[in-house]
A = this chain, B = another copy of it.
Amino acid sequence: MGDLEFKSAVETTLKVIGGKWKPLILCHLTEGVKRFGELKREMPEITQKMLTQQLRELEKDGIIHRKVYTQVPPKVEYSLTEYGQSIREVLDVMSQWGRRHQKRMREMDSSITK
């Protein structure tokens, strides 16, 4: 486990799905195909610039697909690629551990309060 490959692989994963917005965006896209405005509405705190930027990076990494409808007004749909579906299990494990950790933190807080 301590080998170099292991460590660099972990860092690769964090480069692709880490950061402030990507995990959230990916969670939303696991629900299905979404339009740009739809994603924006579901994440009110993200700026248009950041949403565009992060989506472009995920697209470059092959995780998501960007489908442009050439029409007026424009319509753009985002979805996980078949390959992109594979991060689901990573998100799942991270979510499970996070839930456990949240619970633990709450318990520690209340034991101090007592």
Contacts and interface: CB of A to CB of B under 8 A. Distances in A.
A53 interface: no
**Complex copy number for this chain:** 2
Contact of A10 (B62, B83, B95, B104): B95
A108 B30 CA distance: 24
A18 interface: yes
Interface of A: 1-2, 5-14, 16, 18, 23-24, 27-28, 30-31, 61-62, 83, 86-102, 104-105, 108
A23 B31 contact: no
A16 B101 contact: yes
B9 A28 contact: no
Contacts of A108: 62
